[in-house]
Chain A
Amino acid sequence: KNQVEQSPQSLIILEGKNCTLQCNYTVSPFSNLRWYKQDTGRGPVSLTIMTFSENTKSNGRYTATLDADTKQSSLHITASQLSDSASYICVVSARTGRRALTFGSGTRLQVQP
């Protein structure tokens, strides 16, 4: 069964600090992995998409890593800002199959002043 597990479930950090969110998956055959940011009550917005051959991808203060061997990904946020407060969702795509996208439950990040 395809699954995506995210940790921690929630996280509180002070403004200016760094943090790392984790995503472990069992989706096979793997196609790509995406990180989304979702503000409360809004739709998710894509941060990065990573394919099998990519190890690291950055988008401003967001850096995602992928280890396809261990089936793990991380999202590192540098110099956090209050506007980073949101849920971060990991989504893994299978190359084939009826359930092509598997969503994690998300990590809820709160950045405090």
Chain B
Amino acid sequence: DAGVTQSPTHLIKTRGQQVTLRCSPKSGHDTVSWYQQALGQGPQFIFQYYEEEERQRGNFPDRFSGHQFPNYSSELNVNALLLGDSALYLCASRHTSGDNTGELFFGEGSRLTVL
């Protein structure tokens, strides 16, 4: 079992560009969530996908969008990049349970640097 895998691991973009990050969930998991983690801070929830739909969203602008595919993998897209978007982007997956007790497994993250 490969666990949660993310790609790319590192990337550098310039202001105004667009970026797509990818995530494959752990085998058997159907729910994927994305987090932004600035240096020295805890992860900030961006959104969560289940059954190919965005189910929950954090306090992030519309420049942040996502998608979930039938095989449960997911993408995070960020448009019109700003310097402040530089961060570690974490993907996490779990098997959906009604009371949110499903254990959350994280990937190693994608480190985005915006110049």
Are B42 and A51 within 8 A (Cβ)? no
Please name the residue on chain A nearest to B4 by beta carbon. A43
Contacts of B108 in A (CB 8 A): 42-43
Are A41 and B56 within 8 A (Cβ)? no
Of B41, B57, B100, most A-chain CB atoms within 10 Å: B100
- Interface residues of B, CB < 8 Å — how many? 27
Q: A43-B4, A44-B43, A106-B42 are in contact. Are A101 and B105 (CB under 8 A)?
A: no
Number of A-B residue pairs having CB atoms within 8 Å of each other in the complex: 62
Q: Mostly helix, strand, loop or mixed at chain A's interface? A: strand
A42 nearest CB across to chain B (Å): 6
B76 nearest CB across to chain A (Å): 15
Bound-state CA distance A53–B22 (Å) is 37
Are A42 and B58 within 8 A (Cβ)? no
Are B42 and A101 within 8 A (Cβ)? no
Bound-state CA distance A46–B104 (Å) is 8
Stretch of A69-77, A78-86, A88-96 lying at the B interface: A88-96
- Interface residues of A, CB < 8 Å — how many? 27
Contact pick for B57, options A94, A98, A101, CB 8 Å: A98
Contact pick for A43, options B45, B56, B103, B109, CB 8 Å: B109
Contacts of A34 in B (CB 8 A): 103-104
Are A89 and B43 within 8 A (Cβ)? yes
Are A44 and B106 within 8 A (Cβ)? yes
User: Which residue numbers of B lie inside 8 Å of A, CB to CB?
Assistant: 4, 33, 35, 40-45, 48, 56-58, 88, 90, 92, 99-101, 103-109, 111
